[in-house]
Amino acid sequence: MDALIAQIDALGIPVEVLVNNTGIGGMVNFEESDEKWQEYFDVNVLSGVRLTRHYLKPMLERKHGRVLFSSSVVAAVPTPNMLAYSVSKLSQAGIARALSELTKGTEVTVNSVLIGPTHSDVLEQWLADAESKGVKREDFIRQITTSLGSTYALGDERMQTVDEVADVFVFLASKQGLLVNGAAQHATAGVIRHVF
């Protein structure tokens, strides 16, 4: 982490937008070892804490900047077969909410984005594994999307894309996103039934 920060700082360009997107995920049950839980916390939570600790203060001094944590739908709906991941993503949302309290009187915002099931490189790996077992791609995707419930806006035929999720980050990082601060912004195509 120190080497990465040193490389960025050597460029001499202020960091205006920090997206804490490093993460690991997968099926880790409650019974998993402390070491596995610690790995999820170190990668998913502390990496963002360390970067934010370094870059938030200069943003506050300049009175401008954006900090975004790449969280997950499981922060709001924890699942027992992904509990370590769920807890780490909930921690990110909590950190963002707390740090937003430091931004009063500035145009700095700190938010998290709760990302729903997305057609990503990880999904492509799952699809390849399913195909090797004789499952058709479209059937595998349909199995996932139908499990998302009736509020999933994209229907049964497709999942949200990486680019569509990126658009949410771009909005929050923009001037237009100024009024969103301390939010756990949903990017789930309506998977979570919520009003607030």
Q: Report the pLDDT value the prediction gives residue 26, as an integer from 0 to 100.
A: 81
Confidence (pTM) = 0.92
Q: Report the pLDDT value the prediction gives residue 61, as an integer from 0 to 100.
A: 98
Residues annotated as catalytic are 85
Q: Structural domain boundaries of the chain?
A: 2-116+160-187
SS3 126: helix
Give mean pLDDT in consecutive 10-residue pieces for the chain, a chain of 196 residues.
93 97 86 90 97 98 98 91 93 98 98 95 89 92 82 87 97 98 96 83
Task: Tell me the per-residue pLDDT of 121-158, one tens digit each, with 9 for 90 and over.
Answer: 988 998 999 999 999 999 988 888 887 777 889 988 88
Topology, domain 2-116+160-187: Rossmann fold (3.40.50)
Backbone angles phi, psi at 31, to 5 degrees: -75, -5
Do β-strands 160-161 and 107-115 pair in parallel, antiparallel, or remain unpaired? unpaired
Radius of gyration in angstroms for the set of CA atoms belonging to the chain, rounded to a whole number: 18
How far apart CA 162 and CA 144 sit, in angstroms, is: 16
Q: Report the pLDDT value the prediction gives residue 29, as an integer from 0 to 100.
A: 77
Q: How far apart, in Å, are the Cα atoms of 25 and each of 17, 65, 71, 74, 185?
A: 24, 28, 11, 11, 20
